[in-house]
A and B are shown apart, each in its own frame.
Chain A
Amino acid sequence: MMEEWRFEPAHDFGLSAEQRRLSLRREVGLESAISCFLWRSITRVYLATAHRLKIRGRENLPTRPPFVLVANHASHLDAIILGGILPLRFVGAVFPIAAGDTFFTKRASSIFATAFMNALPIWRKSCGAHSLEDLRERLLKGSSVYILFPEGTRTRTGAMASFKPGLGRLVAGTSVPIVPCYLNGTFAALPASATVPRWKRICVTIGKPLSFSATTNDRTGWELIAAATGNAVRALATLP
């Protein structure tokens, strides 16, 4: 006898197209990887020319998944920028965590968010603990990179708000690192009040990965992680 082959169907197997878009277990194949790659290529050219995008600290990026990329949130460009600075081989494995009530309520925008950005929805009003738990499990499986803005919304004043403890829920007590980033110039380029971007320079600073493997997986731990990550991002802002 021979040992049996082991099959692992896509974790979102058997769902309809709409259910797949909303599923936190979504796994993407070649078609999404191609559309995400095209979108990434176009936006990289745009960011490099229109915003003279500068990247500092690229050497701090982990070489393989899983990890969570977090940053201050000022504009709709933010997730695109962070997606664009990650190496090409991560295409299809990078999932921006997007507000479900903003990006996933209309059919067209949810198709765009999933097909080109590979976004996963999180529902801010009724953000059940189980959806964070699903995201945590997925991260522990080892092949995903998240892009997350723990302030929960874009800044309306330009100042960075405190980070929400939900971030801690994803990584507390695990070896999955958080990579803090600071985005400078995004508030001037496309604030929440504007619809068309302005030609402003943008600079991303990538900080050293933070590990919270010794932090307890409870509310105290989560708050500690949120505070520590917030401080790390603020520290990047003051770098010369």
Chain B
Amino acid sequence: MDPIARERLFGFRHAFDSPVTLWITIAVIAALLIASVIIWLLHTGERTSDKLHDELVKRVVSWAIMTPLLLGPVLLGAAWTILAVVILSVLCYREFARATGFFRYRSLSIVVVLGIIATTCAIADHWYGFFVAIPPLTMVLLAIVAVLRDEPRGYTQRVGLGVIAFLLFGHCLGHLGYMANDADFRPIVMLIILTVELNDVFAYIAGKTFGHRKITPQTSPNKTLGGALGALILTTTLVSTVGHFVFAGSGVDTPVRLIGLGLIVSVAGQFGDLMVSSIKRDIGIKDMGASIPGHGGLLDRFDSMLLVAPAVFYYIGFFRGFGLDQPTRILTGG
């Protein structure tokens, strides 16, 4: 294998090559510690009820477990980042399949999982042509395999669910993994994960503080205009400030483009949240699962990432490109 590619995939010594990576890591750990201390102080000062306290503790513990699972692979290297993304894809797909009942069509389910695995191979290989060839090919396979049941009633729904599942969890999330093909992927991926998650937190806090007018009472009754605008302003500020250091010297590093990036993260993030809420309402369930205490299912936590990953990928790709100086097809040659 090309030595440059090997360093990118496995070179954990480069973890903190970019100072931004170090700042974000320190900031996240500090934030978790401060949150724990505040929760503890609120409880000893009897400012929070036992029920609220338990809820807050559950959330912080969940974050304390998720943070190393999210940041660890990015720090270790591109190979681990890609692996973490595919695991996330498969687990999110599993929740979706169990919620919709799609998992009962086992052969179609196999096609979706094969699509996700093929996407991962294309990413690890750094072969963009194959990466974008998989969605149509998966569609072709789904359409064919679904015919084999010889049961036209519900055909469109079965193929449709398969396509939605693959596009959302295999292809869209796959863009997050594809970013690991950039030599400088660590600060970019960390910036996106951090700001997408904080976007949710900002929306929640701003909504609690100045939220009055409900924007989507049918889809998600807790969403308010104040929350949405608050998140938009705070996330855009954060993304463009940190982004200035992440993208220093590249085509993205102009004030207008950085603000554009921030707006995309915030808007796509909030719509991803609303999209999963719509899916849940359509099915008639409250949570997508019970895998993360205090959060619901994995999909309830990572819903915002689904639409952000491809949107940000092509936005940054347009002004700067991803991994342009990196060797391509590192596994298949060619």
Contacts and interface: CB of A to CB of B under 8 A. Distances in A.
Interface of A: 5-10, 13-16, 27, 29-31, 33, 92
Contacts of A8: 101, 104
A30 B165 CA distance: 15
Given A14-B285, A16-B290, A7 B99 contact: yes
B258 to A, nearest CB: 41
A9 B104 CA distance: 10
B285 A9 contact: yes
B110 A30 contact: yes
Chain B at the A interface: SS class: helix
B106 A7 contact: no
B113 A5 contact: no
Interface string B285-298: 10101100000000
Given A7-B100, A29-B98, A14 B110 contact: no
Interface of B: 94, 97-101, 103-104, 106, 109-110, 113, 154, 157, 160, 282-285, 287, 289-290
A52 B317 CA distance: 62
A9 B106 contact: no
Given A14-B289, A29-B98, A30-B109, 4 more contacts: A9-B283, A13-B99, A29-B97, A30-B113
Nearest to B297: A14
B94 A29 contact: yes
A56 to B, nearest CB: 30
Contacts of B289: 13-14
B98 A10 contact: yes
A13 B291 CA distance: 11
A13 B113 contact: no
Contact of B100 (A9, A16, A27, A30): A9
26 contacts: A5-B157, A5-B160, A5-B282, A6-B154, A6-B157, A7-B282, A7-B283, A8-B104, A9-B99, A9-B101, A10-B98, A10-B101, A10-B103, A13-B285, A14-B285, A14-B287, A14-B289, A16-B290, A27-B98, A27-B104, A29-B94, A29-B97, A30-B103, A30-B113, A31-B94, A33-B106
B169 to A, nearest CB: 14
Ordered nearest first, which 3 A-B pairs have the shortest CB separation?
Answer: A8-B101, A10-B98, A29-B103
Contacts of B157: 5-6
A10 B283 CA distance: 12
Given A7-B284, A30-B110, A15 B100 contact: no
A13 B284 contact: no
A136 to B, nearest CB: 21
A1 to B, nearest CB: 15
Nearest to A20: B290
A31 to B, nearest CB: 7
Contacts of A9: 98-101, 283, 285
B106 A30 contact: yes
A29 B285 contact: no
A10 B154 CA distance: 18
A14 B113 contact: no
A15 to B, nearest CB: 7
A213 B130 CA distance: 56
A209 B194 CA distance: 61
A7 B285 CA distance: 10
Nearest to A30: B109
Given A30-B103, A30-B110, A14 B290 contact: yes
A15, A30, A33 pick with most chain B CB within 10 angstroms? A30
A7 B101 contact: yes
Given A7-B282, A14-B289, A14-B290, A29 B109 contact: yes
A7 B157 CA distance: 10
B283 to A, nearest CB: 4
A28 B204 CA distance: 36
B228 to A, nearest CB: 28
Contacts of A14: 285, 287, 289-290
A30 B96 CA distance: 13
